[in-house]
Amino acid sequence: MMNGVYGDKRSVVIFVLPALLIFTLIVLLPIIMTGYYSLLDWNGLGAKEFVGLDNYKDMFFTDKWFLKSLGNSFIFAGMSIFIQLPIALVLALILARGI
């Protein structure tokens, strides 16, 4: 079984490399850049100033809207799970019976 395509290491690399490159460019690179930008005091246009974890300290301890938005996100997720999902399941079961 391994003597076929999977036995040739070069062909495995040829098939995996494009997917790995696309994954790196679309997923990993933006995550790393977001982490880097979160440590800066920067408006996107001017000079960048490294402030470390001060942005996170301000977000958790001085920003009154962050905790409110976090709570709203949990409420939205809960409503989606406990209201939308059961309705979708019931409708799918009705459609599966052919009614």
- Grade residue 81 by pLDDT with cuts at 50, 70 and 90: very high
Distance CA 70, CA 7 (A): 50
Distance CA 50, CA 38 (A): 9
Is the pLDDT reported for residue 4 higher than 90? no
Distance CA 50, CA 66 (A): 22
pLDDT recorded at residue 39: 95
pLDDT recorded at residue 11: 86
pLDDT recorded at residue 12: 87
Distance CA 54, CA 69 (A): 20
Nearest 5°: the CA angle 51, 59, 42 is 40
pLDDT recorded at residue 93: 94
| H or E element that contains 41 | strand 40-41
- Grade residue 82 by pLDDT with cuts at 50, 70 and 90: very high
Burial 33-52 (b: 16+ CB within 10 A, else e): eeeeeeeeeeeeeeeeeeee
Model pTM score: 0.62
Average pLDDT over residues 71-86: 94
Q: What is the pLDDT of residues 17-64, one digit of tens each?
A: 999 999 999 999 999 999 999 999 999 899 999 999 999 999 988 888
**Dihedral, 6, 10, 14, 15 alpha carbons, nearest 10:** 10
